[in-house]
A and B are shown apart, each in its own frame.
Chain A
Amino acid sequence: MRDISYEAVLARKNEIMKKAVGIDYEKFMSSELAFDYEQMMEEVGYSLDKVREIQAETGVGNTTLVELKQINRLIKKIAQKGKGARIFVKDEATNPSGSYKDRRASVSVYHAQKHGYKGVIAATSGNYGAAVASQAAKRGLKCIITQECYDSRWIGQPEILEKGRACEAYGAEVVQLTVGPELFYYTLVLLEETGFFNASLYTPYAIAGVETLGYEIAIQTKELVGKYPDAVVITHAGGGILTGTARGLKKAGAIDTEIIAASVNLKGLHMASDNDFNKKYFTTGHTGFGIPFATFPDRSDVPKNAARALRYMDRYLLVTQGEVFYITEMLAQLEGMQRGPAGNTSLAAAFALALEMDDDKVIVVNETEYTGAGKLPSAQLTFAKKMGMEIKRGDPIKEDIPGKRIVIPEHPSQIGYIELNMDDVRRSYVKEVIKRYNKKNFTNEEIKFMAEDTNTTEEKIKQFISEFLGGEEN
């Protein structure tokens, strides 16, 4: 009988993963750190045209780009004269399972089917589970979704419970676990037991699937307003939607569009903590994923993560939970669109940006998601109150305390953002590399890789290394 203890399974990780994703990552790697990202994306992924063809087969993509006319009127009303950019939103909730994640799942499930796998497995507590389950149903494959769902008292996050329900509705087996990163361990156990394909969120297939989103945004914006978007605001967690959207925009020719990441600020809450688990009211799109995945993307379940947000990110903004609940209400009440919460994280940031940008500028929010039981602000805040959170109206940025207090704005002009210094984020990336690989010396190739991976210069990378290692580099 195979040994399924934690240590034994993790020791077999590479072997299990190789069978379950079918990618030889070694081929692209020149050291433990550096690898040829573009070559990997080109050889392993699928071309944009092929992805469009795959997605058309299962009714994914080609969603509407909607101008938020009432919200834009509101922005003009409260912005200073000459300010007030227009916001458009890509209505990704109209995909088959209700989010952009259908794009991300579509290529993996196609690939699994083509290569004769009997089923697919994905470890996810988010919309991705429903997307994989839905795509698997369409292609006649079996599907298992593993979720981190409950705390040790069996209190489940309503949003995750809803996603579990959706997965079951599409015929998937849902394995619900208590809090802990060992979700990954048990996913390996299941991959080994079933021989199914690992529909990881972080393979080149997954990211290639998202490129169509950026591509469509570029084309549709140009059709509607005569130019590419000035900025696209993207909810950031694991980095996949940002990476894929940015790549797609570039492929369409929108090379000057600013790529702005937005996450909910949950500073101070520990992601693997049993106690903190039910103090977060967005199960994704928050700093607990956003910062670690930006600064060390290779923490994912594949040897080299294809979602590399820092390569494309121009700015990184944080918003509060209260602002996202407020903007979710605004979208429903003024635009007749009940959506979210995920895409509304970026909508909150976009609203704040629109107030300060010139009135001829165009901002695109690149996603919406379906909503309903468990996901609605009313469901989340009812749960938050039960967990002992304080909910009040007030100034969201001044009064917000992650894990303790949610502050709903009293006026739309209170919607703002906290901007992270991109060089500090890049510094954290360099620090993580030094720590993870226990590195003191870097080759020129590695310096070049790190500069590309963080969208900065080699000089900057050398400077950051010397800040941490006291000039010992090279």
Chain B
Amino acid sequence: MEAKKGDWVQIQKTLLKPEERTASLPNDTKKVPLEMRVKGFLINETAKLGEEVEIETLIGRRIKGKLVAINPKYEHDFGEPVPELITIGIELRKILEGDNNA
């Protein structure tokens, strides 16, 4: 996939390598770098995923980093129906209606 100038994209950049991180970290966190992702409009004429690019953010700041997504989607959602939750409303209404065995 190739992005064109002006496309809404996401870049990634390593801010601190593991050895540059603060000393007071749990071991699992200490082993990995501190990384950043930011979205903005592509400044390069064209770019492929994985290439170093420059973007302009929503407030006009310019940042360089590795292109990781083109037109990145919001992937969080409403979730799946959860069996442990679905019946709660029915159960509570039964108690309100006076079923003392509910």
B-contacting residues of A (Cβ < 8 Å)?
5-6, 70, 73-74, 77-78, 119, 142-144, 149-150, 152, 154, 156, 158-159, 161-162, 165, 168, 171-182, 185-186, 194, 270, 272-275, 325-326, 329-330, 332-334, 372-374, 376-383, 391-393, 408, 411-412
Contacts and interface: CB of A to CB of B under 8 A. Distances in A.
A180 B29 contact: yes
Contacts of A393: 84
B2 to A, nearest CB: 22
Majority-rule SS of A interface residues: mixed
B99 to A, nearest CB: 10
Interface of B: 15-16, 20-22, 24-26, 28-29, 31-40, 57-61, 74-82, 84-85, 88-89, 91-93, 95-96, 98, 102
Given A77-B95, A378-B81, A186 B15 contact: yes
A428 B60 CA distance: 45
B21 A178 contact: no
Select the residue from A73, A272, A408, A411 with max chain B CB neighbours within 10 A.
A272
B95 A78 contact: yes
A173 B59 contact: yes
Contacts of B102: 411
Contacts of A330: 88-89, 92
Contact of A175 (B36, B80, B84, B96): B36
A329 B32 contact: no
Nearest to A270: B26
Contact of A173 (B24, B58, B77): B58
A392 B74 CA distance: 29
A377 B16 contact: no
B79 A383 contact: yes
A275 B98 CA distance: 46
B74 A161 contact: yes
B82 A74 contact: no
Contacts of A274: 26, 28-29, 31-32
6 contacts: A152-B29, A156-B76, A179-B29, A374-B77, A381-B84, A391-B84
Given A161-B75, A182-B34, 5 more contacts: A70-B96, A150-B37, A165-B74, A325-B85, A412-B92
Given A173-B38, A334-B92, A168 B58 contact: yes
A176 B36 contact: yes
Contacts of B36: 175-178, 186
B25 A180 contact: yes
